[in-house]
Amino acid sequence: MVEVDLPTPATGEASPTGDRPQGLPQRVNQVKVSMGSTFTVSDQEPVNAIFFMDLAATIREIPDFPKPGILFRDINPLLRNPAAMSDVIKRLERVCDEVRPDLIVGIESRGFLVGAPLALHCALGFVPVRKPGKLPGDVIGIDYALEYGSDRLELQQEALTGSPRVLVVDDLLATGGTAAATGSLVLSAGAELVGFAFVIELESLGGRESLPAGVPVESLIRYP
């Protein structure tokens, strides 16, 4: 959810190529993201650098998957769209600018698809959180409850030494159980948890309420 405070062009509109509208005053623009942070964007940048895509248009809805009554939000069309993926990373870069992480922690498995490119783009390290038996060496883990049964997440014991600032990234925030467990794992490893970031949030499932109070949460696409 992005609000852009831009001056109204004196004449003309922005062209499809992103050329600066004629008559646009020289000024500094303010960009607000839904976390409530305000970022200053230099007027030296092209105007279209701060206009974002309609990411929801790249999400496919598949009814009755994986079982009847569920409307599945499929991000694969977004992943196939390089412009959309670039837009996702640019938006999440602004989150990084706000919370200033040292490391990105990605949750298995689709969190890797977003977290690793974000870490590379922002010149940060990347740490995977994985299911049991996937990581070599000494690991620390956490068991957490699911609707039916339980699951476990692990990370390498030395991955978060030195109390780094950590941003947890995943593709989807639903009930919040996996993200909350990852946050607890990050804290138990001695790191500082500075935020969560998701591509999609299903607000009706109340996942935010499962996450640690006071820790910023950003999602790029929100479904009621």
SS3 annotation, 53-109: CCHHHHCEEEECCCCCCCEEEECHHHHCCHHHHHHHHHHHHHHHHHHCCCEEEEECC
Residue 207's region, left for phi above 0, alpha for psi from -120 to 50, else beta, is alpha
Annotated active-site residue 91? The verdict is no
| Cβ atoms of 129 and 196 closer than 8 Å | no
pLDDT of residue 147: 75
Of 2-11, 25-34, 44-53, minimum mean pLDDT range: 25-34
pLDDT of residue 146: 83
Q: Which of 20, 93, 108, 110 is catalytic?
A: 110
| pLDDT tens readout for residues 143-181 | 999 877 899 999 999 999 999 999 999 999 999 999 999
| pLDDT tens readout for residues 39-93 | 333 334 433 445 578 999 999 999 999 999 999 999 999 999 999 999 999 999 9
pLDDT-based confidence at residue 224 (cuts at 50, 70, 90): very high
Annotated active-site residue 3? The verdict is no
Sign of CA dihedral 127, 132, 134, 136: positive
| pLDDT tens readout for residues 184-212 | 999 999 999 999 999 999 999 999 999 99
CATH class of 99-223: alpha beta
- The angle subtended at Cα 173 by Cα 81 and Cα 139, nearest 5°, is 100
Can you give the pTM of this predicted structure?
0.78
Residues paired with residue 150 on neighbouring β-strands, in sequence order: 145
The ranges of the chain annotated as CATH 3.40.50.2020 are: 99-223
| pLDDT tens readout for residues 94-138 | 999 999 999 999 999 999 999 999 999 999 999 999 999 999 999
| Average of per-residue pLDDT across 17-44 | 36
Tokens (6 digits) for 197: 């970031």
Residues present in the chain in total? 224
> In the chain, what's the furthest Cα-to-Cα distance?
63
Residue 185 and residue 189: Cα distance in Å, rounded?
Answer: 6
